[in-house]
Structure 1
Amino acid sequence: MTAWTFAPEAVDTPDATSLRRDFYDDVASRYWRRPATAAEVDEGLAGDGVERLVPPTGQFVVGRYGTEPAACGGVLLLDAERAELTRVYLRPAYRGKKGAGLLMETLEREARELGASRIVLNTRLDLVEARALYVRHGYTEIPAYCTGPYMEIWYGKPLR
């Protein structure tokens, strides 16, 4: 039986970079309702702030199904109490294999290890699978804690 493993990983490794590109391609293509071009993915990833996803300000995690890079996500400390969940992604071929829940548990543990007592996130209304995942894992809708062009709904959850 193939098993999932999750571990912190630098955002610029080949596997992490490939997952981040796939994440951005997926969310941008859904938003634009057409396939994103490689140039658009490059532009979207340029200056996206992932350099902060390292301790003590954050953490980036890669999930592997067997030996294959299949999932990723990050947590970013916003202040002394809150961490933000970001870049949560499972490649389509690995969805339905129980990895999403394990990824969420891993990211929440990483947020606690960074000192957070609450985790928050923002997303778009059209990302219905992601929203269902968050609700399934105990996240509830909260007032907006930030603003931006792709932020339509906000969720939060206590970690302790």
Structure 2
Amino acid sequence: MPVLPILVSAAAPASAEAEKVSLRYYDDIVSRYHGRPALQQEIVAAQAGYPSDDLVAPTGLLLLARQGRAVLGCAGMRIRPGDIGEVTRVFVEPTARGQGVGRLLMQNLESESRAQGLTALRLDTRTDLIEARSLYALVGFIEGEAHNTDPYANHWFRKELR
């Protein structure tokens, strides 16, 4: 059976596909944070604390990586003052990790950001999200000073686009 290509395209955050992958993203990060499987109410509370309705033009973007009907991951970006894109919601399904899905999502996000005239991308993450930190370094992000006060962030990255 032939392997289907991985395609990346924009999606509405309120779409059924985006909602499902968002819940899996929050399940993953909440479970890692607590060191145990997350409870449903913890997942829903985390998702409610970080709304995604602004991940649509003209304020942002949400990308989904698909292989056939399967959604393998997502990556979002919010446009901030100073022509900066703030990367958020980067997630790859555990079964798809190590296959270049994260890199493909980040490359597409960077391409879209350049097309919108943004001059830099920035993001924050946590120490326990080891795969994410490795991905960001792999695609050229440099760790630096804090750019926000998110209580769950302890690593901040930036990438100049010009």
Identify whether the pair has TM-score above 0.5, normalized to the shorter chain.
yes
Q: How does 1:1-160 map to 2 (within 5 A)?
A: 1-160=3-162
The one-letter code matched in structure 2 to 1:54 is V
Are the aligned partners of 1:84 and 1:121 in contact in 2 as well (CA < 8 Å)?
yes
Q: How many residues align?
A: 160
% identical equivalent positions: 36
Q: Could you report, residue by residue, the CA deviation over 1:70-100 in whole angstroms, capped at 9, with x for unpaired residues?
A: 1101001111321111000000111122211
Are the aligned partners of 2:114 and 2:161 in contact in 1 as well (CA < 8 Å)?
yes
Measure the CA separation in 1 of the matches of 2:14 and 2:40.
Answer: 17
More deviation in 100-109 or 46-55? 46-55
3-state secondary structure, aligned to 2:146: coil
What displacement does 1:47 show?
A: 4.5
Are the aligned partners of 2:123 and 2:156 in contact in 1 as well (CA < 8 Å)?
yes
The runs of at least 4 consecutive aligned structure 1 residues that moved more than 3 Å come to none
| CA 1:80–1:56: 2 relative to 1, 3 Å | farther
The one-letter code matched in structure 2 to 1:117 is T
Q: What is the Cα-based RMSD across aligned positions, in Å? A: 1.1
TM-score (norm 1): 0.95
Structure 1 unmatched ranges of 5 or more: none
Structure 2 unmatched ranges of 5 or more: none
What displacement does 1:37 show?
A: 1.0
Are the aligned partners of 2:14 and 2:53 in contact in 1 as well (CA < 8 Å)?
no
TM-score (norm 2): 0.94
